[in-house]
Amino acid sequence: MAALLRFALTQRVFVLIAAAVLMFVGWRAWNEIPIDAFPDISPTQVKIVIKAPGMTTTEVEAQITRPIELELLGIPRQEMLRSTTKYAITSITLDFEQGTDIYWARQQVNERLSNVWAQLPSFISGGVAPMSTPLSEMFMFTVDNPSLTLQQRRDLLDWTIRPVLRAVPGVAELNSLGGYVKTFEITPDVSTLMQLGLSQDDLVSAINDAHQNVGLGRMNRGVDTLIVRTQGRFETLDDIKALAVPTPDGRSIRLSEVATVSIGSLTRYGAVTKNGEEAVQGLVIALKGSNTAQVVADVKTRLADLQPSLPEGTTINVFYDRAELIDTAVGTITEALIEAVVLVIVLLALFLGNVRAALTVSLILPLAALSTFILMHTFDLTANLMSLGGLVIAIGMLVDASVVVVENVATHQQRKAPLPFLHVIFRASKEVTAPVVAGTIIVVVVFSPLFTLSGLEGKLFAPVALTIVFAMVSALILSLTVTPVIASWLMAGTEAPMPKYMVWLQQVFLTSVRRVLATPGPAIAVALVALVAGGYLFVVIGKSFMPTMDEGDIIVQFEKSPGINLDASVAIDTQAEKHLLATVPEVLQVVARTGSDELGLDPMGLNETDVFLQLKPRDEWRQGSKAELIDDIRAALAGYTGLNQNFTQPIQMRVSEMLTGTSGDVSIKVFGDDVETLAGLTSDIQRLVTKVQGSSDVQAAMIEGGQYLNIKPKPAVAAQLGVSVRSLADQLIVQLEGREIGQISQGETFIPLRLSASAVQNQPLRLGSIEDVRHWPVLLPNQRVLPLSDVADIALQEGPLLIEREQSRRFAVVTSNVTGRDVVGFVNELQSQIQQQITLPNGYWIDFGGEFENQQRAMGNLLLVVPVALLLIFVILFTTFRSVWLSLLILANIPFALVGGIASLYVSGAYLSVPASVGFIALLGVAVLNGVVMVSFLEQLRLRIADLTERVEQGAVRRLRPVLMTATTAMFGLFPLAFATGPGAEIQQPLAIVVIGGLVTSTLTTLYLLPVFYRLLEKRRG
């Protein structure tokens, strides 16, 4: 280190140039760092989505989910296998260990899926879902144009907008939702077919034979060549109508004579409504690892470029723009950062009483920040709420090393040694090198436990720790290179005496510390009482996983009766939407999604709706807070009985679903085999949960209640008449789901060509009741018809609506949000209630998940790792002081620091959460540093002042300024964060509160108790 110092002071111009280069590179790095609201919190996750039209939940589970799960279970490095099976769809999610390469994971899953695919039903579709994360839903819009029908708007989205946006780098997919997907529909007339002796297959065969272009080869035409082909592909509705279908008597008939040929639409599994009217929505899904801010910006640019080519009157109505959240969250943190820097500079100026010295120290801040950006860029760390928050946390500590150097230079200056100023600086800097390096190492070690966190907390706080480490290491190097160089220019010939107020403060402190040293009993008693009180508060204080970040927007989730159809579901949604718009003026617009999306990434049922509320700017609100607004929205929706409601936010919802497969603060998962038993147990548990104080939005997943109409051919009749299950299915599927038999290309668009009855839904043949199905005419191979009930037994059968599985075991879940109390206390009470009142059958067990699961895991990790960190600190202290007792003396400061942190949490009403725990970790560092500053100086005075009490008094007084500077810069550096109100501040606030409160008590104990105990220790050492 001495060599580094010497080099810096002898090559000052070089150091300055290097600093300038660092600033330039740092600025560039800042502009190039990907910006997002959050770090990528998703685990390495691969999702499989399989669609199986017409299959019941149990069939999908038995024939698709279980075989795939069985195959996937063999993949190495997997952590969790989850699946959700519903009517006609299954979604299987595989979480891999942290650090697993996503491409490797996807390849593994693809290989296993290929192995098992042949065993699955032939008509299924789907596969591995796009490589996205729960945070990938970053940009949502509706395509509005009052003069276009829903089908035209959907066409516009699918075939004009989607291809453009999919080409944007970083966009994984554009999910189209709502409206109607245009199809060409052929609806055979059974009676006409019967008259002509035709079957449905005859039509399909005629269509397939005609609907193709075949390349025939080339022929020579003189010296030229000519490509020859046959042309038969349909292009228009009239082409299809004009198709000649051969009849058994050797003649032919136009298709339009035996079938209705019309424009129709695909069967809808979902819909979108906007402000009470049906709409069409586009949802941009970003690739995992993409630069969200950049992708959003590019998407907006492409949309703007596209706008002139859209039909007149078309507007792209953006209702969710992640860039806004990023801007707001990053803005909040950046603002806090700037304020922290200003506060720290002011504090330095006040304490040092020397503007030049303050300026010398302060210059370290921008340089350290820019160096941190370079390191963040180098290590692919994005600029987000957490990483920038880490920088804010570090601000107060960044100046510590520089302060120590400058303060010592100032002290040496005051001694007026007959040496060139550069020598003075060199000696002063060299003197403090060891404690400065040790202090930095201590801070790095203190934050190392954060690297061991796993799950969501690990993903969130690893960037915090990494940024702090980057910043501290940068600050250390800069304080031993740039700071001395700057000091050599700025502090030359400016020996400033200590400010008068500082002198006065020292006198006051001397008086008080003498009194404490004279009669230490009361001080020790107070400290012990504080410790006991702190212990009590720790027990009673609320504990939760993570404060909820205000994302700006609100999502209300509706769950309606399980058997509801899409039209009825949408009708309820639209009523609620209009009511919300009318009664809650803070709501700018409402966009709701009912049912499943096109890709099946979020396979919601028709009874499920996510109502997205875009809010007006806060200055237009009547309410003072988001919580009050939510209360008003709850009140507005209170009259909407008969449907479950749950409040969440876009990212919160996806993160919950990603981590636990459920949304809600607490999820109670009941594992077992029998669906009916599971349903009964969840119903009982739901009843219990609603009684526990703090429960809200309590929901039990509707796993029962599905009804299926089973059609089973009568064996004797079927055999005699030649009716098979397949032939029945082929005929009936046309009446219900429709059957795709080809595609028609029109320019850039591909329109499905289907056999379907959807185009003639108003005709009497429509199947609207079981009786209709019973009478439905089956066209037999002998060209006669019989009612379906003559050839098949028709019976209603009950079955599960939903089957959820984890690690190949079925479970049902009850979820609840927790309001007005801590999650851990809530779960403890609930666990006790369940133990007392619920009797689980053999083979059934309950797991608590959701936020509680995360909290337990995080606390478990920290309780394991923090003692190890303390041990490491002890080793560093021992290496520095060569004394076990002195090391223990410094560590003894920690409990008093914790007391302050806990008290501040209690006073502020915050809970002991993961961020608060990180605050305690940060507190360890600062508290230990304060102790080091005090004890190291007392040890230095050992040879100068012989009398122990005087040494302690003088040492304490002379260390007052550095200790106060270290503590207050750390405290005031966090003040902006503690009082920030913008979105994004919520997560860091508990951290700031803990550090500020803890520093108050730790500073007091450093200044008063440490000298007392030091004296006691020295007396014992003789």
Partner 1 sequence: MLNRLLGPLLVGMLLLHPHDVFSQTPTDVPLSALSSYTLTYVPAEAVAVKRLPATVGHITYRPGDAFEVTLPFAIQQFSPETLDGQWVEKGQTLAYLDGREVHHFFDEAASAESLFLLTKRHYERNRKDIADQVIKLPEWLAIAQAYEQAKLAYEHTRHAREWLSETDNGVALVADHSGYVEWLAGASMSTAGQPLLRIIPGQALRLEVAVSASQVPLITAFSLPDKQCVDPLTGIRPAQRDEQYWRTLWVDLASDCSLRPGQTVRVEPIASFSGWRVPGSALMTLDDQQWIAVLNNQTLELIPVDVRATDAQGVLIETTTPLGGRQVLNQSLSVVQGYLMGMGGE
- In angstroms, what CA-CA distances link 749 with 143, 173, 213, 374, 744? 18, 17, 17, 47, 8
Q: Which of 355, 505, 786, 948 binds partner 1 (CB under 8 A)?
A: 786
Kindly report the backbone phi and psi dihedral angles of residue 382, in degrees, each rounded to the nearest multiple of 5, phi listed first.
-80, 155
User: Minimum Å distance from CB 687 to partner 1?
Assistant: 5
Task: State the pairing for strand pair 270-274/587-595.
Answer: antiparallel
User: Minimum Å distance from CB 782 to partner 1?
Assistant: 10
Residue 174 bridge partners (DSSP): 284
How far apart (Å, rounded) are the C-alpha atoms in residues 668 and 682? 9
Q: Which of 217, 250, 521, 764 binds partner 1 (CB under 8 A)?
A: 764
User: Minimum Å distance from CB 172 to partner 1?
Assistant: 35
How far apart (Å, rounded) are the C-alpha atoms in residues 161 and 175? 11
Q: Does 784 bind partner 1 (CB under 8 A)?
A: yes
- In angstroms, what CA-CA distances link 353 with 359, 554, 759, 995? 11, 50, 85, 26
User: Minimum Å distance from CB 855 to partner 1?
Assistant: 24
Number of H helices and number of E strands within the chain?
A: 38, 30
Residue 47 near residue 92 (C-beta atoms within 8 A): yes
User: Minimum Å distance from CB 851 to partner 1?
Assistant: 19
Q: Smaller CB distance to partner 1: residue 599 or 779?
A: 779
How far apart (Å, rounded) are the C-alpha atoms in residues 771 and 368? 78
Residue 261 near residue 186 (C-beta atoms within 8 A): yes
Q: Does 696 bind partner 1 (CB under 8 A)?
A: yes
User: Minimum Å distance from CB 986 to partner 1?
Assistant: 26
Q: Smaller CB distance to partner 1: residue 411 or 561?
A: 561
Q: Smaller CB distance to partner 1: residue 220 or 641?
A: 641
Q: Does 766 bind partner 1 (CB under 8 A)?
A: yes
Residue 360 near residue 345 (C-beta atoms within 8 A): no
Q: Smaller CB distance to partner 1: residue 784 or 882?
A: 784
User: Minimum Å distance from CB 696 to partner 1?
Assistant: 7
The piece of 398-406, 651-659, 689-697, 859-867 that touches partner 1 (CB under 8 A) is 689-697
- In angstroms, what CA-CA distances link 53 with 50, 86, 126, 731? 10, 11, 11, 15
CA atoms within 13 A on the CB side of 389: 32
Ranges assigned E (strand) in 222-275: 224-230, 244-246, 252-254, 259-265, 270-274
Q: Does 645 bind partner 1 (CB under 8 A)?
A: yes
Q: Does 189 bind partner 1 (CB under 8 A)?
A: yes
Q: Does 640 bind partner 1 (CB under 8 A)?
A: yes
Residue 589 near residue 650 (C-beta atoms within 8 A): no
How far apart (Å, rounded) are the C-alpha atoms in residues 600 and 176? 11
Q: Smaller CB distance to partner 1: residue 431 or 772?
A: 772
Residue 1009 near residue 527 (C-beta atoms within 8 A): yes
Query: What 8-state DSSP symbol labels residue 892?
Result: T
The residue written with tokens 């289907």 in the block is: 754
Which residues from 578-597 bind partner 1, rule CB under 8 A?
A: 579
User: Minimum Å distance from CB 735 to partner 1?
Assistant: 10
- Provide the residue count of the chain: 1022
User: Minimum Å distance from CB 772 to partner 1?
Assistant: 5
Burial category of 840 from C-beta neighbours within 10 Å (exposed 0-12, middle 13-18, buried 19 and up): middle
Binding mask 548-577 for partner 1 (x = CB under 8 A): -----------xxx-xx--xxx-xx--x--
The piece of 125-133, 510-518, 695-703, 824-832 that touches partner 1 (CB under 8 A) is 695-703
The piece of 190-198, 256-264, 513-521, 905-913 that touches partner 1 (CB under 8 A) is 190-198
How far apart (Å, rounded) are the C-alpha atoms in residues 276 and 576? 8
The piece of 398-406, 453-461, 679-687, 879-887 that touches partner 1 (CB under 8 A) is 679-687
Residue 291 near residue 266 (C-beta atoms within 8 A): no
How far apart (Å, rounded) are the C-alpha atoms in residues 229 and 214? 5
Q: Does 777 bind partner 1 (CB under 8 A)?
A: yes
Ramachandran class of 932: left when φ > 0, alpha when ψ lies in -120 to 50, beta otherwise: alpha
Q: Which of 284, 475, 491, 698 binds partner 1 (CB under 8 A)?
A: 698
Binding mask 721-740 for partner 1 (x = CB under 8 A): x-------------------
The piece of 756-764, 839-847, 931-939, 1010-1018 that touches partner 1 (CB under 8 A) is 756-764
Measured CA angle at 1016 (ends 1010, 1021), to 5 deg: 120
Residue 84 near residue 660 (C-beta atoms within 8 A): no
Question: Per-residue DSSP letters for 157-196?
Answer: IIIIIHHHHHTSTTEEEEEEEES--EEEEEEE-HHHHHHH
How far apart (Å, rounded) are the C-alpha atoms in residues 49 and 166? 20
User: Minimum Å distance from CB 771 to partner 1?
Assistant: 5
Binding mask 852-871 for partner 1 (x = CB under 8 A): --------------------
Task: State the pairing for strand pair 739-746/244-246.
Answer: unpaired
Q: Does 642 bind partner 1 (CB under 8 A)?
A: yes
User: Minimum Å distance from CB 645 to partner 1?
Assistant: 7
Q: Which of 477, 529, 503 is nearest to 370 (CA)?
A: 477
Q: Which of 107, 114, 119, 192 binds partner 1 (CB under 8 A)?
A: 192
Per rule CB under 8 A, count of chain residues that contact partner 1: 60
Q: Smaller CB distance to partner 1: residue 644 or 828?
A: 644
Mapped onto helix, strand or coil, the DSSP state of residue 617 is coil
How far apart (Å, rounded) are the C-alpha atoms in residues 513 and 1007? 8
The piece of 180-188, 205-213, 534-542, 683-691 that touches partner 1 (CB under 8 A) is 683-691
Rg (CA), the chain: 36
User: Minimum Å distance from CB 781 to partner 1?
Assistant: 13
Q: Which of 110, 317, 644, 828 binds partner 1 (CB under 8 A)?
A: 644
The residue written with tokens 């003040």 in the block is: 975
Q: Does 842 bind partner 1 (CB under 8 A)?
A: no
User: Minimum Å distance from CB 648 to partner 1?
Assistant: 16
Q: Smaller CB distance to partner 1: residue 568 or 888?
A: 568
The piece of 363-371, 394-402, 419-427, 779-787 that touches partner 1 (CB under 8 A) is 779-787
Q: Does 687 bind partner 1 (CB under 8 A)?
A: yes
Q: Smaller CB distance to partner 1: residue 215 or 639?
A: 639
At 401, list the tokens.
């090393």
Q: Does 819 bind partner 1 (CB under 8 A)?
A: no
Q: Does 239 bind partner 1 (CB under 8 A)?
A: no
Q: Which of 98, 789, 808, 883 binds partner 1 (CB under 8 A)?
A: 789
The piece of 94-102, 547-555, 773-781, 920-928 that touches partner 1 (CB under 8 A) is 773-781
Q: Does 769 bind partner 1 (CB under 8 A)?
A: yes
Q: Which of 122, 147, 220, 762 binds partner 1 (CB under 8 A)?
A: 762
Q: Which of 384, 429, 695, 727 binds partner 1 (CB under 8 A)?
A: 695
Residue 931 near residue 889 (C-beta atoms within 8 A): yes
Q: Which of 66, 514, 775, 821 binds partner 1 (CB under 8 A)?
A: 775
How far apart (Å, rounded) are the C-alpha atoms in residues 433 and 436? 5
User: Minimum Å distance from CB 819 to partner 1?
Assistant: 12
Residues that bind partner 1 (CB under 8 A): 189-192, 194-195, 559-561, 563-564, 567-569, 571-572, 575, 579, 637-645, 683, 686-687, 690, 695-698, 707, 717, 721, 762-772, 775-777, 784-787, 789-790, 796, 798
